[in-house]
Amino acid sequence: MNQPQVAVDVTEVTVEFSRGRKREPFRALDRVDLDVRPSEVSCLLGPNGSGKTTLMNVLTGLVTPSSGRVRVLDLDPATQRRDLLRRIALVPQETSLYPELTARENLTFHARYYGMSAREQRTRIDEALELVQLGARADDRAGTFSGGMQRRLALGKALMMRPELLLLDEPTLGVDVQSREAIWNRIEDVAREGRAVLLTTNYMEEAQRLGDQITIIDRGVNVVRGNLNELTSQVPEVERVEVPLVSLQDVFLHFTGRGLRN
Amino acid sequence: MLTHLHALAAVFARNLRIAWRRPELLVQTMAVPVVVLALASVIFGANDAWPIAVVDEAETAHSRQFVETVTETRGPTGSYFRIVETEADAAAELLHAGRLQLVVTVPADFSETGAVEIATYNINSDAMKNVRLRVTTTANAFDGATNAHQVAAIIDRVKPVDVPRTAFMGGSAVILALLLGAAMIAANLYAVDSEHRTEKEIALTPLGSYVAGLGAAAAGFVLAAVAAIPTALVALAFGTRVGMQELLLAAAIVLPATAAAAGVGVVVAAYLRTHRMIQPALIMAALGSYFASGGFISVSALPPLARAINTWWPPSYVFEWSNPLLHGFADRPGLTEVAAVVGAAVVAMALAALAAQRAGHRTINHGQ
Amino acid sequence: MHAALALAKKDLLVSFRAPLFVIISIVVPVAFTFLYAIVVHVSTTATIAIADEDQTPHSADFIAVMSQMHNSDGDYYEILTSDPDQARDMYEGADVGAMLVIPEGFGRSVDEGEDPAVTLSLVNINADGTKNQHLRIEEALRQFQQTLPSTPPDRLAILESTELERDIPVSVYLGSALLLFAALYAGIVSVGVSIAREWEERTAKALVLSPSGHASLVAGKWAAAAIMSVVTIAVTLAALGWVLGYPWHMLSWRSAGVLAIVWIYGAALGTLLGVKLRRALPLVPVAVLIAVAHFLVSGYESYIRGFAHGGGVELLWASTHWIPLAPLFDVVRFEVTSLPQPEGAIVAALGSLLLAAAAVSFAVWKLTKALRFTQGQ
């Protein structure tokens, strides 16, 4: 399959819901634009309730927009959903793991449910466990894992599918620095392999570290788009926060090390 | 002490607020006894005067006397038959389709043979037992009219008028609504914390997790009264009539029992934790108790196995002790009976507190 | 297909690792069935205490008549005592709701051709109990009267013909209804809760986003639930065999087919409820109500049909025309009793499957069209 020039192409997308007891109309997204290219990590930023998850749902066909144009890997999520789902992977905010199953069993179930052949499963499951550094805990139940390990396992599920587009909804929410570092490394690897990544986050340093392109939305409306330099250049100097040469994260990693704590 | 009471009041108020904001918590507890009572009343209350066909092919004075006897056959509760068809072909058709269960035919030679024919749609032996015994009653009445020398039975009843079956079921259903309401509301409110992952916050109170258990039980006890209102209205509609004095007397048994049910609800919730496990267990146990432990018919009239099981099943005592009070068959509740239900309430509340305290320890030890 | 199997295997593994819900799913309908079954014979046998103050051969004969009265379900009376003092104690202590007093002089009156009378004392707190006792004493009086030489020969004779070859025993009638109730309950609750659980535990999104499609989701859920339901039905059958002597060996492929159809109907409703409600809190009571209402209405349809002449009962009976399950209950009963099959069974089977298909299609459509997830999900 030829790789498209633009993995995600969202133009003037509007999503309206009705909400509350009076079923009042509510505009979750209002003429939003977004594009994500292969080999890039695009970050979608916005305060809580700004419409980030709704946009993710639009891209996976879970929500059909009221108006606007959406193409994901040259497919229309609303009408070509099943074809699209074979080529993308989503790591939702909730880790979607079964606590009663082991890490390997979770991956095995996911692989089978997503139609992976038995031959592929054997190699890809082990590979995914190693990628997210959970090989040693493969046969422990997911319910016994820390929050960070569960996030890594959820990422492993997605990586195992080798998607052309990886969608990550707040992938490092509530995880420790070590797990975050591991997750970031894997995300960068995905982009380096030529695939596209779109992630939503509330962490500025995450966007700063990973984002080749950054889109900020607020109240369902595009606020600003561009790379880090383009964005920072738009802020008047007087309002800029001075960034120390050594960040707190560097200090923390220096003293606690980069080894993972499982 | 005051701090503990304040904490208890806070949990109680929070629970009332949750119940107010999530009306399904109450509605579902209301729905179960309402639907069961309404269906059971319509189905089991319909067979007092049995619809039948009577075809008089003789049309003599003698045969007309028999038909008259059929119409007038009565038990202590009213007429046993209601003639809805008299034409032979139509009657046969209805019988074949099961739309009638009894067709009585007085043949043309009735005066000579003294025999009547009955045709039954014998769909089950219980219905047929009823049909045949009713016909026997008619036969006794018919023979009694022609031959005075009969062994007779004098029916001596405690009260001049029977409590109608649907009225008895209605009274019991209100008791069921209170017990189930208390248990289920208390259990669901307690489980809100484990379902919403707020149990750690509750468990970490320096006052002890027992407060959560007692707070849920107290809310369940109070809200049960609200949950029982629709059932009471349906019971009224199906003929349950209870005087104020009877109501107050029955309350001496039912109110402590309701408190005990609330406590049991919390204990169940502390161990089963999630709504999907708590609810089937409580609802089906309550419905089973209604049908098999004195709600539908008094325990003393049940088959031996049921009586033996009910000796060990607490809800049967609630029905057995409160129904006579409710329907005016007892002047006052026995002291032992009141002491027993109050004791049960105290024990159940203590168990609720203990179960919640232990659940709190489990939460802290296992993390979330 | 592979996806459905994977989901079924996952569900079974999760159930095996956390078996409490499975245990409850099996125990709860079985317990209800058991409790209902132990009172099935409540109107067959009436408990009574007899105060035989006469103590003559005639009073003994009267008691013998009472103790021998029975039908195919069992004895008409359970006579707890015939001792006068004990009978009065039991009656006054509310251990029994009916007491028959055979007064002193009863035998003499019989011998002298007078009109003797017995007294039936009743705690008439439930008119149904009063009626049951009254009907039985009438039968006892008639049978006793027949034994007396003074009884004239021209008494009314009753000749009975029956529509069915034989009466269906009430244990079979209600036992079959309870068996189908267990299948229906297991179908609704196990499938419904299993689907709702994916939303409650926030694992639904991954299932919905699978390219395998929603049919795999439904098929997988059904497969796992079917295995658990088979256990529920088997245990229910064992309980019915024990309590009611239910002749389970008479069940054949036809009844198995009916059980399967009723289960499918339940599973379809469970699928719809699971997809629509997505939470066990409202789902379980709704599921219980649906199952109990079907048991009381469809399960009793052929019984209430004969009463449905006016009033609420006719309306209720009319509702069974819209839910085609009722004849299926009779299919099992007629088979177990070796009676020719009732009419309308094929229509009922097809109608039930059609309703099930409609419910599942609607559920799948809801999954596709209304994929609402809460904020952040």
Helix C280-297 / helix B275-292 crossing angle, nearest 10 deg:
30
Do B24 and B56 belong together in one domain? Answer: no
Do C212 and C361 belong together in one domain? Answer: yes
Q: How far apart are CA B359 and CA B202, in angstroms?
A: 10
- For residue B368, the SS3 value is coil
Q: E strand or H helix at B62, and its extent? A: helix B61-72
pLDDT of residue A246: 52
Task: Name the minimum distance, in Å, from the CA of B315 to any CA of chain C.
Answer: 13
pLDDT of residue B8: 83
Q: Which of C315, C270, C313, C265 is nearest to C288 (CA)?
A: C270
Task: Name the minimum distance, in Å, from the CA of A239 to any CA of chain C.
Answer: 31
For residue C248, tell me if it sits in a domain: yes
Section C215-242 average pLDDT: 95
Q: How far apart are CA B226 and CA C280, in angstroms?
A: 23
Q: Which residues of C touch B122 (CB under 8 A)?
A: 162-164, 166-168
CB contact under 8 A, C163 and B28: no
More confident residue, B215 or A47: B215
Of C2, C14, C371, the CB nearest to A98: C14
C242 touches chain B (CB under 8 A): no
For residue A36, give every residue at least 6 positions away whose Cβ sits within 8 Å of its Cβ, in sequence order, or none. Answer: A6, A7, A8, A42, A165, A196, A197, A198, A213
Do C282 and C194 belong together in one domain? Answer: yes
CB contact under 8 A, C173 and B275: no
- For residue C101, the SS3 value is strand
Q: What is the pLDDT of residues B272-317, one digit of tens each?
A: 988 888 999 999 899 999 999 999 999 988 999 999 999 999 999 9
Pairing of strands A213-218, C157-162: unpaired
pLDDT of residue B367: 47
Q: What percent of chain B has pLDDT over 70?
A: 93
Do B238 and B348 belong together in one domain? Answer: yes
For residue B70, tell me if it sits in a domain: yes
Q: What percent of chain C has pLDDT over 70?
A: 97
Of C124, C288, C304, the CB nearest to B283: C288
DSSP 8-class letter at C164: S
CB contact under 8 A, C36 and B288: yes
Q: Which residues of B touch C46 (CB under 8 A)?
A: 301
Do B57 and B34 belong together in one domain? Answer: no
Q: How far apart are CA C221 and CA A113, in angstroms?
A: 12
* List of chains touching B (3+ CB pairs within 8 A): C
Of C38, C155, C285, the CB nearest to B306: C38
- In single-letter form, the type of residue at position B41 comes to S
ipTM of the complex: 0.90
Task: Name the minimum distance, in Å, from the CA of B210 to any CA of chain C.
Answer: 24
Are C61 and C144 within 8 A, CB to CB? yes
Q: What is the pLDDT of residues B178-196, one digit of tens each?
A: 999 999 999 999 998 776 6
- Tally of structural domains, chain B: 2
Tokens of B217: 């039980």
Domain boundary among C147, C178, C199: C147
A110 touches chain C (CB under 8 A): yes
* Contacts of the segment C197-200: beta carbons below 8 A, 24+ positions apart: C197/B276, C197/C280, C199/C278, C199/C279, C200/B195, C200/B276, C200/C278, C200/C279, C200/C280
- Tally of structural domains, chain C: 2
C39 touches chain B (CB under 8 A): yes
Q: What is the pLDDT of residues A190-226, one digit of tens each?
A: 999 999 999 998 888 888 889 899 898 888 888 888 8
Counted across chains A and C, CB pairs separated by less than 8 A come out at 87
Q: How far apart are CA A51 and CA A174, in angstroms?
A: 20
CB contact under 8 A, A93 and C377: yes
For residue B354, tell me if it sits in a domain: yes
More confident residue, B163 or B192: B163
Mean pLDDT of chain A: 85
Residue-by-residue DSSP string for C8-59? HHHHHHHHHHSTHHHHHHHHHHHHHHHHHHHTGGGGTSEEEEEEE-S-SHHH
Q: How far is CA B7 from the centre of its chain?
A: 37
Q: How far is CA C203 from the centre of its chain?
A: 37
Choose, out of C22, C202, C209, C369, the residue to mutate when testing the contact with A (most A CBs < 10 Å).
Answer: C209
Q: Which residues of A touch C216 (CB under 8 A)?
A: 113
Of C156, C166, C284, the CB nearest to B276: C284
For residue C300, tell me if it sits in a domain: yes
A90 touches chain C (CB under 8 A): yes
Q: Cα–Cα–Cα angle for C340, C343, C347, nearest 5°?
A: 130
Do C48 and C188 belong together in one domain? Answer: no
For residue C152, tell me if it sits in a domain: no
For residue C153, tell me if it sits in a domain: no
Domain boundary among B86, B112, B146: B146
Section C261-276 average pLDDT: 96
CB contact under 8 A, C32 and B155: no
pLDDT of residue A242: 57
Mean pLDDT of chain C: 91
Q: E strand or H helix at C352, and its extent? A: helix C345-369
Section C94-106 average pLDDT: 94
pLDDT of residue C375: 43
Do B125 and B213 belong together in one domain? Answer: no
Q: What is the pLDDT of residues B127-162, one digit of tens each?
A: 999 999 999 999 999 988 877 667 888 889 888 889
pLDDT of residue B72: 94
Examine the pLDDT at A256 and tell me if it is beyond 60: no
Q: How far apart are CA C230 and CA C235, in angstroms?
A: 9
- In single-letter form, the type of residue at position C365 comes to W
pLDDT of residue B148: 61
Give the domain extent around B174: 2-43+163-366
For residue B61, tell me if it sits in a domain: yes
Tokens of C116: 């003797």
Do B88 and B132 belong together in one domain? Answer: yes
Q: What percent of chain C has pLDDT over 90?
A: 72
Q: How far is CA A98 from CA A102, B284, C203, in A?
A: 8, 29, 7
Do B65 and B172 belong together in one domain? Answer: no
For residue C253, tell me if it sits in a domain: yes
What residue of B is the nearest CA neighbor of C114?
B149
For residue B330, tell me if it sits in a domain: yes
For residue B155, tell me if it sits in a domain: no
Do B94 and B207 belong together in one domain? Answer: no
Q: How far is CA C320 from the centre of its chain?
A: 17
CB contact under 8 A, C376 and A53: yes
pLDDT of residue C374: 47
B55: left (phi over 0), alpha (psi -120 to 50) or beta: beta
For residue B157, tell me if it sits in a domain: no
Question: Which alpha helices (DSSP H) does B147-209 contain, by range?
Answer: 165-195, 199-203
Examine the pLDDT at A239 and tell me if it is beyond 70: no
Of C138, C285, C313, the CB nearest to B46: C313
Are A224 and A231 within 8 A, CB to CB? yes
Do B133 and B175 belong together in one domain? Answer: no
Q: How far is CA B151 from CA B228, C47, C100, C110, C349, in A?
A: 48, 22, 14, 8, 53
As a 3-state breakdown, chain C gives helix, strand, coil percent values, each rounded to 5, of 65, 10, 25
For residue B153, tell me if it sits in a domain: no
Q: How far apart are CA C68 and CA C54, in angstroms?
A: 20
- List the domains of chain A with CATH numbers: 1-87+163-222 (3.40.50.300)
For residue B154, tell me if it sits in a domain: no
Looking up tokens 């036992």 gives: C175
Section A82-93 average pLDDT: 90
Do B203 and B231 belong together in one domain? Answer: yes
Do B132 and B175 belong together in one domain? Answer: no
pLDDT of residue B344: 97
pLDDT of residue C201: 87
Q: Which of B16, B33, B12 is nearest to B289 (CA)?
A: B33
Do C255 and C298 belong together in one domain? Answer: yes
For residue C194, tell me if it sits in a domain: yes
Are B261 and B347 within 8 A, CB to CB? no
C104 pLDDT band (50/70/90 cuts)? Answer: very high
* List of chains touching A (3+ CB pairs within 8 A): C
Exposed, middle or buried: residue B2 (CB in 10 Å: 0-12, 13-18, 19+)?
A: exposed
pLDDT of residue A244: 47
**Stretch among A237-241, A257-261, B139-143 having the lowest mean pLDDT:** A237-241
> What phi and psi values does residue A59 have, to the nearest 5 degrees?
-65, -30
- In single-letter form, the type of residue at position B330 comes to A
pLDDT of residue B92: 96
Do C249 and C338 belong together in one domain? Answer: yes
More confident residue, A240 or C332: C332
CB contact under 8 A, C17 and A101: yes
Q: What is the pLDDT of residues A101-153, one digit of tens each?
A: 999 999 999 999 888 888 888 899 999 999 899 999 999 999 899 888 999 99
Do B199 and B106 belong together in one domain? Answer: no
Of A98, A105, A113, the CB nearest to C210: A113
- For residue C252, the SS3 value is coil
Do C325 and C312 belong together in one domain? Answer: yes
Do C29 and C48 belong together in one domain? Answer: no
Residue length of chain C: 377
Give the domain extent around C106: 42-147
Q: How far apart are CA B263 and CA B214, in angstroms?
A: 8
Domain boundary among C116, C147, C178: C147
Strand partners, C48: C79
**What is the CATH number for C112?**
3.40.1710.10
Mean pLDDT of chain B: 90
Q: Which residues of C touch B285 (CB under 8 A)?
A: 28, 31
Counted across chains B and C, CB pairs separated by less than 8 A come out at 362
Do B102 and B242 belong together in one domain? Answer: no
Q: How far apart are CA B352 and CA B268, in angstroms?
A: 9
